[in-house]
A and B are shown apart, each in its own frame.
Chain A
């Protein structure tokens, strides 16, 4: 039985002691695992052992840095923290970091994939001091527009919400900033599917809005915000007529009357109140085309609107009215704004 002997021998081998030899390294066991590694540097994570809690300021900045984190939950929590901080802080104390540095980190989150992040973002934005945001509308608007035409319907709705908030605090800037009027209106038309006659007819274009089962709610919201937007741009209260939101060059008569006679044109010679009074000159940017131009007065905006958007918007409103229900009601408010605007247009001399 040669084979069995062989097997026995093999079995025995496992229990044999390895021979140790002088001057030779000890043989490694069979199940030896090489755990050595190479690295350019070793970082030892240190735990902070200070007894004092970090100041609110450092907390704020650290959370701000976590806003761009990879994980959804981290982003959401950081946003929530920032929001609660802003809400609890007395309005007189300044922010730990100014809005101008906050916004560039926050604005990409409008396009964030996670819905909870976006809702928290909206809360945070609402908590920001309104006056500071107004100066940075120009930076925010591209993100809003990108959100409005996003493939994902949820993101579109968030973007519309953000726009609504922006209109609430700085309507004049939104419609008057570079590209703010034509481009945004284009986005509205595309969201609503009102661009061309045939596209407006097909309900399929709008069916994609919102999650399934949202039942046209988003549509109502978008139409509502469109109303706000038009109101800010060409509505009654919009500061186009006298141009009070302007640099102050044109409104010499209107406000100047309040001041005494010899110093009628004081306003003209005062330092401008706006943050960037000479943006409209576009001294440093690239040359703008028609769409990217600034339309600062109601008159200009009306002219553009009448030429490009009046017909599709009216057509869209008509179909929305016929649809009835909430959408129809929402469309009524827009129609009201439109009526005012058309009236105004007659007054200025642009016949509808």
Chain B
């Protein structure tokens, strides 16, 4: 009898992946097979539930494979697999402690898969996974579950923010942190929140609230986690954003060109499609409005209360278990809050009193914190004794140069924020240190001097004031600032814009051949400005087209009327312009402040103007970083943002310069630091290696190195040889070669 040919499926006894593939293609025809496998799963589950901890692998197919199989095709048979997700969740939540690791991971994976297939909703999944994350002792499971939770939160927030889910999750985290303040479980809340904050998925006050509660916990790890978030979370977020925007650009033209040339394969086509998608996504991202992100410190409710409770709980409390580093971190947070929100905490400044000695470990951090905590609403009476103490303890001829420069820097930073904390005699004393021999101290002294030339020159001795300050004093526009006096605010970088405009106008007039200083009719200028209104977006034009109808009634003057038609501008506009005309003529000599306030108040800044302003601001920031023109200290003060923390490094300042003489090795290492390794040829490297190993040189090398004078005689005599002699030498050489060298190969 002829043997029947076996089909591929019949040979393989239990081939679930194959069945899975078939079911995906045609679910209807394979329903019976699926049903059978579902019963199979049910029976296996029954067996498993009878003894969850037993590790017997039952035959060909294990429960794990069945779960995997059903999870993959569950979407094809929703009515048969109705209870499947719930069963998985039950198994996981009841038995996760005793389950085999593989099975456990498979169940978690299957649940996530079901979530992807939208059989399960996010909230249920998170409700199942989160308790496990918090309670399981297994590290691998925790890592897996954490990753899955994070991924789920990200995907459900990918297209649009899922407010409902976020709110429930945040509430869960909040409760986790607040329910048991002594346990370290709050760490999970911190990890999750920080990660989501970094990715800008959560950027609201509720997330900040979770962290706030965490930093007020009783467990050290949780406290530190919360505090770290406030100190570094925003920076991390910015870095993440930069990173994601830095992805290398794909040259679409090149990709298309290559696809045209190369062999047309499916994978190539896919690569092109992928590149296209990436470019499109990037473009879309570029057009998106910049997300409005407040830093965590700004989103706090009641910063005063928060700072106070932090202070009393962790720093003033004698029972607090934090070590010095952790305390410093808390102190940094408190002082940043104080500086940023201009808070006042009663005992904060007296708290510093005992830490301000040069022997205190990491005293520079304390100094930085103190400087951070001072702002112009702090009563000078609070700060003055501290400044005095720093001056006494740190700054003296007897103290080390590093110490003195740190003290001076700290005093400068404090006084930059609250100049009233300084008195005249002390200042004049300290300023003398600019004559110090040590470079660090000298620079610090100069910094202090230039600061006071700027803020309160009358406190300095007459000869220390410098030219600008003296002139200013004489004219009387440098007035001493009183306590809590506020200056009127302007738009940052507006003077740059004005200067730029002035230059542009001058250039234009130079082209036209007019005297560059004369006043031209502003109207023309204005017109140009309005024309530039829609420089970068054309979509707006039809929007403003609608507005044209309105303009005749309400007399709001708008660009289009002036650009295209020669229609008379409305009365109001005209009067405004005429005012503008005479304004600059009168107030030519007015101070700069008045000038830029004028620009902002008399003109409407067009989007083009704002874009230019932004550009100029960035340019200025970059220029400030370049050493030269202005003093470095001034530049540092300009570039500092209010949100940026003051660090211990800044207090230490140039202390490195006064660190005493370096050893030779240190100097060499310092000189080498930036340099890349010199190129060496392969032979040179080999030679070096040979020498290192102490091996000998070849005869050739020896000959090459031989003293010239020693070779001279032989070379001379070679010239004088007769033919016979030459022959004899050659012959001898040949013989020698045959023999195998001078000593010969006699033994063989």
Residues of A within 8 A of B (CB): 1-2, 5, 8, 68, 108-113, 139, 142-143, 145-146, 148-152, 154-155, 179, 183, 186-187, 190-191, 193, 195-196, 199, 205, 208, 211-213, 286
* Contacts A108-B59, A146-B43, A190-B35 given; does A151 touch B19 at CB 8 Å: yes
Task: List the B side residues contacting A112 at CB < 8 Å.
Answer: 59
Q: Let me know if B60 and A111 touch, CB within 8 A.
A: yes
Instruction: Confirm or deny: B32 has a beta carbon within 8 angstroms of a beta carbon on chain A.
Output: yes
A151's partner among B13, B32, B741 (CB-CB below 8 A) is: B13
Closest to B39 in A: A149
CA distance A190 to B6 in the complex (A): 24
* Contacts A151-B13, A151-B19 given; does A5 touch B745 at CB 8 Å: yes
* Contacts A113-B13, A193-B32, A199-B31 given; does A151 touch B6 at CB 8 Å: no
Instruction: Confirm or deny: B737 has a beta carbon within 8 angstroms of a beta carbon on chain A.
Output: yes
* Contacts A111-B58, A113-B13 given; does A8 touch B44 at CB 8 Å: no
Give the shortest distance, in Å, between B542 (CB) and chain A (any CB). 60
Q: B46-54, B239-247, B599-607: which lies at the A interface?
A: B46-54
Task: List the B side residues contacting A212 at CB < 8 Å.
Answer: 4, 6, 10
Instruction: Confirm or deny: B15 has a beta carbon within 8 angstroms of a beta carbon on chain A.
Output: yes
Instruction: Confirm or deny: B738 has a beta carbon within 8 angstroms of a beta carbon on chain A.
Output: yes
Give the shortest distance, in Å, between B589 (CB) and chain A (any CB). 90
Closest to A2 in B: B737
Give the shortest distance, in Å, between B660 (CB) and chain A (any CB). 48
CA distance A5 to B736 in the complex (A): 12
Q: Let me know if A139 and B15 touch, CB within 8 A.
A: no
* Contacts A113-B59, A190-B32 given; does A183 touch B39 at CB 8 Å: yes
Give the shortest distance, in Å, between B598 (CB) and chain A (any CB). 81
* B43, B56, B58, B737 — most chain A CB neighbours (10 Å): B43
Task: List the B side residues contacting A142 at CB < 8 Å.
Answer: 43-44, 46-47, 50
Q: Let me know if B58 and A152 touch, CB within 8 A.
A: no
Give the shortest distance, in Å, between A117 (CB) and chain B (any CB). 10
* Contacts A113-B60, A142-B47 given; does A199 touch B32 at CB 8 Å: yes
Q: Let me know if B43 and A1 touch, CB within 8 A.
A: no
CB within 8 Å of A: which B647-673 residues:
none
* Contacts A151-B15, A179-B46 given; does A195 touch B56 at CB 8 Å: no
Task: List the B side residues contacting A139 at CB < 8 Å.
Answer: 50
Q: Let me know if B14 and A152 touch, CB within 8 A.
A: yes
Q: Let me know if B61 and A1 touch, CB within 8 A.
A: no
Q: Let me know if A190 and B36 touch, CB within 8 A.
A: yes
Give the shortest distance, in Å, between B44 (CB) and chain A (any CB). 6
Closest to B63 in A: A146
Size of B's binding interface in residues, CB under 8 A: 33
A146's partner among B6, B13, B47, B49 (CB-CB below 8 A) is: B47
Task: List the A side residues contacting B43 at CB < 8 Å.
Answer: 142-143, 145-146, 149, 183
**Would you call the interface of chain A mostly helix, strand, loop, or mixed?**
helix
CA distance A8 to B10 in the complex (A): 67
29 A-B pairs, CB-CB below 8 angstroms?
A1-B738, A1-B740, A5-B740, A5-B745, A110-B59, A111-B59, A113-B59, A142-B50, A146-B43, A149-B37, A149-B40, A151-B13, A151-B14, A151-B40, A151-B61, A152-B60, A155-B59, A155-B60, A187-B39, A190-B32, A190-B36, A190-B39, A191-B36, A193-B32, A195-B35, A196-B32, A199-B31, A199-B32, A205-B32
B58's partner among A108, A196, A208 (CB-CB below 8 A) is: A108
Give the shortest distance, in Å, between A203 (CB) and chain B (any CB). 12
Task: List the B side residues contacting A187 at CB < 8 Å.
Answer: 39
Instruction: Confirm or deny: B504 has a beta carbon within 8 angstroms of a beta carbon on chain A.
Output: no
Q: Let me know if B39 and A195 touch, CB within 8 A.
A: no
Task: List the A side residues contacting B16 at CB < 8 Å.
Answer: 151
Task: List the B side residues contacting A193 at CB < 8 Å.
Answer: 32
Instruction: Confirm or deny: B748 has a beta carbon within 8 angstroms of a beta carbon on chain A.
Output: yes
Closest to A146 in B: B43
CA distance A8 to B50 in the complex (A): 79
Instruction: Confirm or deny: B527 has a beta carbon within 8 angstroms of a beta carbon on chain A.
Output: no
CA distance A148 to B36 in the complex (A): 9
Task: List the A side residues contacting B691 at CB < 8 Å.
Answer: none
Residues of B within 8 A of A (CB): 4, 6, 10, 13-16, 19, 31-32, 35-37, 39-40, 42-44, 46-47, 49-50, 56, 58-61, 737-738, 740-741, 745, 748
Those 4 A-B pairs whose CB atoms lie nearest each other, nearest first: A111-B59, A146-B43, A152-B13, A151-B14
Give the shortest distance, in Å, between A271 (CB) and chain B (any CB). 27
Task: List the A side residues contacting B6 at CB < 8 Å.
Answer: 212
Closest to A151 in B: B14
Task: List the A side residues contacting B47 at CB < 8 Å.
Answer: 142-143, 146
Closest to A1 in B: B737
Task: List the A side residues contacting B39 at CB < 8 Å.
Answer: 145, 148-149, 183, 186-187, 190
Give the shortest distance, in Å, between B747 (CB) and chain A (any CB). 9
Known: A149-B36, A190-B39, A195-B35. 14 other contacts (CB 8 A): A1-B737, A2-B737, A108-B59, A109-B59, A139-B50, A142-B46, A142-B47, A143-B47, A150-B14, A150-B60, A151-B16, A193-B32, A199-B32, A212-B10
* Contacts A8-B748, A183-B42 given; does A146 touch B740 at CB 8 Å: no
B741's partner among A5, A152, A286 (CB-CB below 8 A) is: A5
* Contacts A108-B58, A190-B39 given; does A8 touch B32 at CB 8 Å: no
Task: List the B side residues contacting A179 at CB < 8 Å.
Answer: 46
Give the shortest distance, in Å, between A223 (CB) and chain B (any CB). 17
Give the shortest distance, in Å, between B495 (CB) and chain A (any CB). 76
Task: List the A side residues contacting B32 at CB < 8 Å.
Answer: 190, 193, 195-196, 199, 205
Give the shortest distance, in Å, between A69 (CB) and chain B (any CB). 13
Task: List the B side residues contacting A8 at CB < 8 Å.
Answer: 740, 745, 748
CA distance A47 to B616 in the complex (A): 91
CA distance A231 to B6 in the complex (A): 37
CA distance A112 to B61 in the complex (A): 10
CA distance A149 to B16 in the complex (A): 13
Give the shortest distance, in Å, between B434 (CB) and chain A (any CB). 68
Task: List the A side residues contacting B46 at CB < 8 Å.
Answer: 142, 179
Give the shortest distance, in Å, between B57 (CB) and chain A (any CB). 8
* B15, B32, B36 — most chain A CB neighbours (10 Å): B32
Give the shortest distance, in Å, between B38 (CB) and chain A (any CB). 8
Task: List the B side residues contacting A1 at CB < 8 Å.
Answer: 737-738, 740
CA distance A192 to B606 in the complex (A): 80
Task: List the A side residues contacting B35 at CB < 8 Å.
Answer: 190, 195
CA distance A286 to B87 in the complex (A): 13
Closest to B5 in A: A212
Task: List the B side residues contacting A190 at CB < 8 Å.
Answer: 32, 35-36, 39
Q: Let me know if B4 and A213 touch, CB within 8 A.
A: yes
CA distance A109 to B56 in the complex (A): 11
Closest to A148 in B: B39
Task: List the A side residues contacting B748 at CB < 8 Å.
Answer: 8
CA distance A183 to B45 in the complex (A): 13
Closest to A199 in B: B32
Give the shortest distance, in Å, between B544 (CB) and chain A (any CB). 66
CA distance A199 to B33 in the complex (A): 10
Give the shortest distance, in Å, between A308 (CB) and chain B (any CB). 14
Give the shortest distance, in Å, between A181 (CB) and chain B (any CB). 14
Give the shortest distance, in Å, between B95 (CB) and chain A (any CB). 12
B49's partner among A110, A208, A286 (CB-CB below 8 A) is: A286
Closest to A105 in B: B56
Task: List the B side residues contacting A5 at CB < 8 Å.
Answer: 740-741, 745
Give the shortest distance, in Å, between B26 (CB) and chain A (any CB). 13
CA distance A149 to B4 in the complex (A): 25
CA distance A139 to B37 in the complex (A): 20
CA distance A211 to B50 in the complex (A): 33
Give the shortest distance, in Å, between B140 (CB) and chain A (any CB). 24
CA distance A237 to B718 in the complex (A): 129
Give the shortest distance, in Å, between B100 (CB) and chain A (any CB). 16
* Contacts A1-B738, A186-B39 given; does A108 touch B31 at CB 8 Å: no
Task: List the A side residues contacting B737 at CB < 8 Å.
Answer: 1-2
Give the shortest distance, in Å, between B699 (CB) and chain A (any CB). 11
Give the shortest distance, in Å, between A52 (CB) and chain B (any CB). 34
Task: List the A side residues contacting B740 at CB < 8 Å.
Answer: 1, 5, 8
